[in-house]
Chains A and B, each alone.
Chain A
């Protein structure tokens, strides 16, 4: 019997998700033993035409990371959707829109102008007698499931090797989980935080601080020290590498299944910790949270209720 075929592809992403696959280390050899990798632009020399030549549905699982921000990414996502039986949105950008999704705070025309000025590349680009057709920007950055149907989600920026391995095992094993599942535990990170016991029962904060402003205690709950840790709102499964590195959680594993809009809900939980009932005092306590959109919607703006900036 031939081995199941697996494809990896990247869209608007940084490459960190691809790193994760390599970070499986020796275990990647077991993966290669169990499956045929038929497409993986970052590591292997297969071309789009090779995928075009495959029969529809002949790929068992396609792992696609990155958000969708231009016509070529949409085209590739649609192509892989046709060729694969199962598509996995791999990583925060594919699942929620990710950091590239913060571009939705601006119109793409303004962004191109800010970066290239009057020298912006045109769709048809000519140089030395050659002609190149560049991809067209989409109006908005979108998560993968707003462009094609997606069966599973693997969260994280990037997903950890462990949950990647677990996802591979779950999908290639005999009894795959129900469609639509986010392949990580459906509970908050605080639940398996190594500092959980040091979190006070009634948590109130007199002053929020930014990580560079204090030397954080290595043992104590970071939120109790005034650092904005999104552990209470964020899905667990990462095994808290940031907390272990003495840095607060920024929410890359996204919401649990009970939350519709991660940013609004995280803002709600954080703001209500301000230890004052006076308007001016509350303002002072919350003032260090300088950029609420970038803080609370860091990984999820495109899939939030607003989807991006409301107006100019």
Chain B
């Protein structure tokens, strides 16, 4: 029996909160699934929807955006900008055939290394049963 393919998830974390949470998870030896590939941006407000489209177009099984909790943004309201874009973008990628489970926005503060583990574990567990992404041609034939 062939081994199940592990989902690859692009994680885009903000410099001030979620990236530090990932750092804390590391120094605290908190274990979480090795399915995420982390890219650090200065703010979740920097996450251009083009990044997300590019990731899914290149075959990512999921995209996880991590930012500061509402009210805690280092730049006052970058995370709100991210939230607004996320609301519309998740509808658009869904229309394009990406299941809800594959695209998430989570607020994780610098002290929440444990929450990072919970979120990543949960996301991987929900994506794995969906199986690998398929192209339109593969689905139709």
Contacts and interface: CB of A to CB of B under 8 A. Distances in A.
Interface of A: 105-107, 109-110, 139, 260-261, 263-265, 267-268, 270-274, 276-277, 279, 282-283, 286, 289, 291-293, 296, 304-312
Nearest to B130: A311
B39 interface: no
Given A310-B133, A311-B139, A264 B48 contact: yes
Given A311-B135, A311-B139, A306 B57 contact: yes
A305 B48 contact: no
Contacts of B136: 106-107, 308-312
A293 B80 CA distance: 23
Interface stretch (B16-24, B93-101, B113-121): B93-101
A260 B88 contact: no
B41 interface: no
Interface string B26-68: 0000000000000000000000111011101100000000000
Contacts of B139: 107, 311-312
A311 B133 contact: yes
B53 A304 contact: yes
16 contacts: A107-B139, A109-B140, A139-B137, A263-B53, A271-B84, A271-B88, A277-B70, A282-B83, A293-B95, A306-B57, A308-B96, A310-B56, A310-B136, A311-B134, A311-B136, A312-B140
B19 to A, nearest CB: 22
Contact of B134 (A261, A270, A312): A312
Contacts of A304: 53
B87 interface: yes
Contacts of A279: 83, 87
Contacts of B133: 310-311
- 6 pairs of A and B residues whose beta carbons are closest in the complex: A292-B92, A312-B139, A264-B49, A311-B97, A107-B140, A271-B88
A260 B54 CA distance: 10
Most buried by B among A261, A268, A273, A279: A268
B77 interface: yes
A305 B54 contact: yes
Contacts of A286: 84, 87-88, 91
Given A107-B137, A308-B136, A309-B97, A272 B56 contact: no
Most buried by B among A106, A110, A304, A312: A312
A164 to B, nearest CB: 31
A293 to B, nearest CB: 5
A282 B70 contact: no
B50 to A, nearest CB: 4
Contacts of A105: 95-96
B74 interface: no
Nearest to B132: A311
Given A107-B140, A272-B81, A279-B83, A267 B88 contact: yes
A279 B106 CA distance: 12
Nearest to A295: B92
A107 to B, nearest CB: 4
A279 B81 CA distance: 11
B126 interface: no
Nearest to A106: B136
Most buried by B among A276, A282, A308, A310: A310
Contacts of B140: 107, 109-110, 312
A16 to B, nearest CB: 26
A306 B77 CA distance: 29
A267 to B, nearest CB: 5
A168 B141 CA distance: 45
